[in-house]
Amino acid sequence: MDKHFKFTNLVVGLPLFFVVILWFVFWLEIRFDFDFVQNGIYPRTFSGLQGIIFSPFIHADMKHLYNNTFPLMILLASLQFFYAKQSLQVIVYGIILSGFITWIIGRDNYHIGASGLIYVLFSFVFFKGIQTKYNRLTALSLAVIVVYGGLVWYIFPTPTVRGENSISWEGHLGGLLTGFLLSLIYKTPEYKKIIKYDWEHAEFDSSEDKFMQRFDASGNFVNLPKVEEVEEQQQELSTYYTSIFQVNYEVVRNEKNELKPKS
């Protein structure tokens, strides 16, 4: 596994913790007959500002909550694994900024749900992966666009269907813009491959390499030019060493180390 990416308990714990909070809030609504919708974002009103913080945890019904649960878990896990140092900032500032954009451009109605945060995560992971130009993160971006590419259509105004809750395309658009902005603000390390060999450098010239000179244009093995071989041999022959110390040699008779028979 790449040294930049480490699996920790937060990769699983963070998505589970966030989703448990969503379901707990929804359980409180059902169990005690609370109505948290009025705590959502109501555009351009002072009381509606509270929804910037509370709206991601409020859902209209079971279907709404269910549809947000799985994308949220997958994207939060991806964020924590690949961008652990930036994950908390992306979540916090993503909720605040996307909610504020919704408060400015939204229709006069309550806007609730974690879909705005989903678009923040989707946008951040996708654009940051493209910007890094790193194979694994680019592949992650392509996987995200394949799985959740259909989400892009929900950033445009959709007709209201009678009897159904309308989609907050303003929140989706705010989340998409926020994720892109955060991908530009938060810098990540340059995930570059460590260069071990000379031939991996961009400025490497194979014509100057002694080993590569052993091969022709077709890849066949050939010898070095004779001129260079002669020069190298002459250089080796001209190399000798001298010493100022006197060296005495003692000649030792070579005798076998055998036991002599006893008389």
- Could you give the CA distance from residue 112 to residue 60 in angstroms, rounded to a whole number? 8
Please tell me the predicted confidence (pLDDT) of residue 152: 78
d(CA 185, CA 46): 29
Tell which wins on pLDDT, 258 or 87. 87
Q: What is the pLDDT of residue 48?
A: 93
Long-range Cβ contact pairs of 84-90 (< 8 A, separation 24 or more): 84/6, 84/8, 84/10, 86/186, 86/188, 87/10, 87/14, 89/182, 89/186, 90/120, 90/121, 90/124, 90/179, 90/182, 90/186
Please list the alpha-helical segments (H only) found in the chain. 9-32, 51-54, 62-82, 84-105, 115-132, 135-148, 169-185, 226-237
Cα–Cα distance, 137 to 165 (Å, whole number): 36
**Cβ-Cβ contacts under 8 Å for 213 (sequence gap 6 or more):** 207, 224
Query: For residue 233, what pLDDT is reported?
Result: 58
Which residue did the predictor score with more confidence, 210 or 153? Answer: 153
Q: What is the pLDDT of residue 29?
A: 93
Give the model's pLDDT for residue 142. Answer: 79
Residue type, 45: T
Q: Which of 112, 102, 17 is nearest to 61 (CA)?
A: 112
Nearest-angstrom CA–CA distance, 70 and 114: 11
231 or 39: whose pLDDT is higher? 39
236, pLDDT greater than 50: yes
Tokens of 77: 């896990």
User: What residues contact 88, with CB distance under 8 A and at least 6 apart?
Assistant: none
Token output for 191: 């995930």
Q: What is the pTM of this model?
A: 0.71
Find the mean pLDDT for residues 174-199. 79
- Give the type of residue at 250: E
116-167 residue pLDDT tens: 999 999 999 989 888 887 777 778 777 877 777 777 788 888 765 444 567 8
**pLDDT at residue 20 in the model:** 96
Q: What percent of the chain has pLDDT over 90?
A: 45
Closest CA to 111 of 25, 43, 173: 43
Q: Buried b vs exposed e over 125-139: b needs ≥16 C-beta within 10 Å?
A: bbbbbeebebeebee
Say how far residue 221 (Cα) sits from the centre of its chain.
43
Q: How confident is the model at residue 1 (pLDDT cuts 50, 70, 90)?
A: very low
Task: Check pLDDT > 90 for residue 59.
Answer: yes
For range 194-203, the mean pLDDT = 63
Residue 215 pairs with which residues in a beta bridge? 221
Predicted confidence (pLDDT) at residue 79 exceeds the cutoff of 60: yes
What percentage of the chain reaches a pLDDT higher than 70?
A: 73
| Residue 24's pLDDT band (cuts 50, 70, 90) | very high
Q: What is the mean pLDDT of the chain?
A: 81
In this predicted model, which residue has the larger pLDDT, 128 or 241?
Answer: 128
